[in-house]
Structure 1
Amino acid sequence: MNKEQFIAFQESGHFTIPALLIEKYANLGLNEAEFIMILKVQYYIQRGIFFPTPEQLSEQMSISTTSCTSMLRSLMQRGFLHIEEFQQDTIMYEKYSLKPLWERLYDSLQHEQAAEHKLLEKELENSLYTVFEQEFGRPLSPFECETFSIWLDQDYHDPIIIKAALREAVISGKLNFRYIDRILFEWKKNGIKTIEQARNHGKKFRQHQQKDRSAENDSHKDYVRKVPFYNWLES
């Protein structure tokens, strides 16, 4: 669900959003009184009262009309609420809109997800260092650590793909950073982005190598057969 769909869903009259708002309102910078005010405005909008007065809002709240007016002004100044115009039967009306609130809530969720993803990537990166050191049987050198950073920060290789390249190097018996870097370069050039694609590419490469070795061995055998055998003991 993108931002436009998210906002349209909230504006369509569904009242499922408060569960999310209950969880996140403090993170957005709203206090409890402001949170209730937001709910009251949404409640009136859904009843078809698009521009409730401070008097109407304070009727069922424990704060005065003056406090309601002040709070509404504060919510608009801080970007949680705004007033927009709409036309009905050639007459222009004003109404409250909670679109700014939904936008901020959506952006907050996106930020949290990005932060969680970044944390997960960092954990994968740290575990990847450990896997490399275990395979090499020693701590990584400063040059190797720098190469590692280039793979992640400049070449944007997925940690899982880097781990797969390490596996290919181990299988090939060429455990060094230059060989792993070459694998990653070839994979990127061939558009390999998933672990399954990497496995299939590695399998095909090894099969091709085996065929080349077999053909080379056969050519050597043919060459040996063409050389006449000479018995030096009978000369």
Structure 2
Amino acid sequence: MKKRVMLQWLEQGSIAIPKLLMTNYQKLGLNETEFMVVLHVHTFLECGNLFPTPNEISARMTINPMQCADILRLLLQRGLLTIEGRRDGDLICETYSLQPLWEKMLQLLMNDIMGEEVEEEKARQSSLYSIFEQEFGRPLSPFECETLAMWQDQDGHDGTVIQAALREAVISGKLNFRYIDRILFEWKKNGVKTVEQAHNYGKKFRQHQKQPRPDTTYTGKVPFYNWLEQ
């Protein structure tokens, strides 16, 4: 007897509930009762009943058929549920579709991902501004902030490359935005897009740079590349 009951239970199968729906249904404006109606519609569709009635759905819940009908109507109005026509021989049958719900959930996921990317980008920009202010020893002016944003948004320089140009300016003793802008211009013109490429480009240039030698007396000064004279 127990074995037969267990087999009957297994034969009923199972219904997979998308985790994204389970954890985010409230973001679609669904309360718990509406969410359960959606799940029951999903269950009926998976079992082959493509147009369950309010009586059939409410029989599995603690709401009456009228309340269930009101919720179904509300889901249709919100665009979370649609009724479609399906040909069955010579007849056209109505069926429920949760496709709009899945599309809205996908859009919600994409918005969340884009929102996270925007926040990460803001954090990177904030960090870059802080690095510049630390090197300059003062807050950046509105013009300097605009220039820094332009290097990223218009010129397409990666933040790490901008930091490398800043370090180059510090080493050269030319700590100003005009000098850094010239460095970035030269790098972009020569296809420099990464920190490693910037390092190799500067190293290669210095190997071929001709330094004036007025005398052989050691002055303790380190020769540097004057980007503004290029």
Q: Write out aligned runs for 1:64-83 (5 A).
A: 64-83=64-83
Q: Write out aligned runs for 1:3-14 (5 A).
A: none
- On the 8 A contact 1:187/1:198 being kept in 2, the answer is no
How much has 1:54 moved relative to structure 2? 0.9
| Structure 1: gaps spanning 5 or more residues | 1-12, 222-235
Q: Percent identity?
A: 48
**Aligned mate of 1:200, from 193, 196, 199:** 196
Q: Write out aligned runs for 1:52-91 (5 A).
A: 52-89=52-89, 91=91
Which residue identity does 1:201 align to in structure 2? Q
Provide the residue aligned with 2:28 in structure 1.
28
Q: Which has the higher contact order (CA 8 A, sep 6+)?
A: 1
Distance 1:126-1:74 versus aligned 2 partners, 3 A rule? same
| Structure 2: gaps spanning 5 or more residues | 1-13, 216-230
Distance 2:100 2:175 in 1: 55
How much has 1:69 moved relative to structure 2? 1.0
How much has 1:199 moved relative to structure 2? 2.2
Q: Write out aligned runs for 1:180-219 (5 A).
A: 180-189=180-189, 197-214=193-210
* RMSD of aligned alpha carbons: 2.7
Structure (1/2) with the larger helix percentage: 1
Q: Write out aligned runs for 1:148-167 (5 A).
A: 148-167=148-167
Distance 1:187 1:97 in 2: 55
How much has 1:133 moved relative to structure 2? 1.4
Q: TM-score, normalised by structure 1?
A: 0.74
Distance 1:179 1:37 in 2: 65
Which residue identity does 2:31 align to in structure 1? N
Distance 1:186-1:35 versus aligned 2 partners, 3 A rule? farther
Distance 1:168-1:88 versus aligned 2 partners, 3 A rule? farther
Distance 1:190-1:30 versus aligned 2 partners, 3 A rule? farther
Distance 1:189 1:44 in 2: 63
Provide the residue aligned with 2:11 in structure 1.
none
Alignment coverage as a number of residue pairs? 202
Q: Write out aligned runs for 1:29-178 (5 A).
A: 29-89=29-89, 91-178=91-178
Task: Decide which moves more: 197-206 or 166-175.
Answer: 166-175
Which residue identity does 2:181 align to in structure 1? D
- On the 8 A contact 2:162/2:184 being kept in 1, the answer is yes
Which residue identity does 1:15 align to in structure 2? A
Q: Which runs of 4 or more aligned residues in structure 1 lie more than 6 Å from their structure 2 counterparts after TM superposition?
A: none
